[in-house]
Amino acid sequence: MIATNTVKMAGELHPRMVTIYIKVTDLAATTSFMVGGTEKKQTGSSHQDGGIQVKVGSVKEFHASWESFSAYLKDEYMVSNHSKVVIKETVSVARRNAQILQSKRAQRGGPLYLVPSELQTYTRKYICTHGWDLPSRGKGLRVNKQTRATGCQFRFSAVAVYRAGKHNTWCIQVPEQTQFLVHNHPVEKEIFEKYPQIRTVPKDHPLYDDVRKMVFVGGKKELIFEYIHKHSDFKVTKRDVANMVCAILAETQQEDAGEEAATPEPMR
């Protein structure tokens, strides 16, 4: 049975078409709609994740280096898809080459193709920040309400490969068959911007140098908080600013200690 309804969301000028599919066999209803190019589904089945399924965009397949791939994930993919992606597992080039040298091909004396050591990393497995397993540390008497884990299965892998033909070079590939791009939790810009790693100012950002200067001259945390919100899109909290100030002061103390250790004592 298929029923099509017109639903008007708050703040919208035009109604949004929502198609509801009802499966008579299991009496579960699924609502699907498109928001910003992202497909979202809400099922009526009873699951721990609330029945939410949000499919996001695919990951670009080829990249020149690990550095360029990391920049792409941080500056493009995560921002456009509102998805916080983290590294779960890595395999180093040294480990991969050791496996190749111990393979049956090596024992037979066949040709071996080792991964260049300068790549350092052979493969990485990425997951959603909500996909970490949460090991139980107690006896189950109290519920942990602060956990971010939802059992999200979003994942993909990146691997160093030799790209022949006109390219004739090593690069980073994200094979399509490794990409499972469905989240089991809400994926929204407002939520994404509130992740600690997203809302705070990174050390390599020009604004971080401004904050350092303000700390050096004794700027108050409230003024630093207002300055960041006025001159950037970072959604820092007052606790984030306090942590930044503490980190900058600690860095300054370490730098001063290093300079004192490097200064030779005058001869007497």
**48-79: per-residue pLDDT in tens?**
445 789 999 999 999 999 999 999 999 899 99
pLDDT for the residue 213 = 93
Q: Where are the beta strands (DSSP E) in 141-206?
A: 155-163, 169-173, 182-183
**Strand partners for 127:** 86, 155
Whether the per-residue pLDDT at 47 is higher than 80: the answer is no
User: What's the rounded Cα separation, in Å, for the pair 69 and 214?
Assistant: 33
Pick from 47, 31, 50: nearest CA to 39? 31
Pair (68, 181) in one structural domain: yes
Whether the per-residue pLDDT at 44 is higher than 50: the answer is no
Contact 16/33 with Cβ under 8 angstroms? yes
- For residue 132, give both structure tokens: 């970490």
pLDDT for the residue 267 = 57
pLDDT for the residue 10 = 39
**191-222: per-residue pLDDT in tens?**
888 887 777 888 888 899 999 999 999 999 99
**Worst-scoring range by mean pLDDT, 48-57, 105-114, 221-230?**
48-57
Flag whether 247 is in a domain.
Answer: yes
Flag whether 41 is in a domain.
Answer: no
Pair (174, 216) in one structural domain: no
User: What's the rounded Cα separation, in Å, for the pair 233 and 193?
Assistant: 9
pLDDT for the residue 266 = 58
Flag whether 164 is in a domain.
Answer: yes
Contact 53/182 with Cβ under 8 angstroms? yes
Strand order in the sheet with 16-23: 2-7, 16-23, 28-35, 38-43, 52-55, 182-183
Q: What angle do CA 136, 140, 142 make, to 5 degrees?
A: 110
Whether the per-residue pLDDT at 15 is higher than 70: the answer is no
Pair (66, 180) in one structural domain: yes
**Strand partners for 125:** 89, 157
Higher-pLDDT residue of 37 and 51 is 51
pLDDT for the residue 41 = 52
Pair (159, 116) in one structural domain: yes
Pair (94, 119) in one structural domain: yes
Pair (171, 247) in one structural domain: no
Flag whether 163 is in a domain.
Answer: yes
Structural domain span for residue 93: 62-134+147-192
- Provide mean pLDDT across the span 176-201: 88
pLDDT for the residue 20 = 35
Flag whether 215 is in a domain.
Answer: yes
Whether the per-residue pLDDT at 32 is higher than 60: the answer is no
The number of folded domains in the chain is 2
